[in-house]
Amino acid sequence: MTTLADYFTLGAILFAIAVVGLFLNRKNLLVLLMCIELMLVAVNLNLVAIAHFTGDLLGQVFVFFILTVAASEVAIGLGLIVALYRTRRSVEVEDINTLQG
């Protein structure tokens, strides 16, 4: 029998792996974007689990909206990466230093 805690634990593990991935692959913009996707989907898992265990569909509606926003975020993010690659010939985060950040 699975409990809500099991799903929360799995979501936490996925989220933590994605956080480690952000630190490890901090040079590769594409993998950074993928790690963000992984974080979002880990949170989605939590929301769906809550929806199931409380018997309230609100969690699933929330996941629906998060998926929408995540899809548009990926479209914009990849557009930015392609535009960046055209001018810099690279997708390394360290090359993006025009603003001296």
Q: Which of residues 54-93 bind another protein (CB under 8 A)?
A: 54-55, 57-58, 60-61, 63-65, 67-76, 78-83, 85-86, 90-92
Nearer to another protein, 48 or 96 (CB): 48
Q: Note every long-range contact of 28-36, with CB atoms under 8 Å and residues 24 or more positions apart, other chains counting.
A: 28/91, 28/92, 28/93, 29/81, 29/84, 29/91, 29/92, 29/93, 30/81, 30/91, 32/93, 33/74, 33/77, 33/78, 33/81, 36/73
Nearer to another protein, 22 or 96 (CB): 22
Tokens of 84: 């960046």
Nearer to another protein, 7 or 96 (CB): 7
Does the footprint of another protein cover residue 36 (CB under 8 A)?
no
Subset of residues 6 to 25 that bind another protein, contact rule: CB under 8 A: 6-25
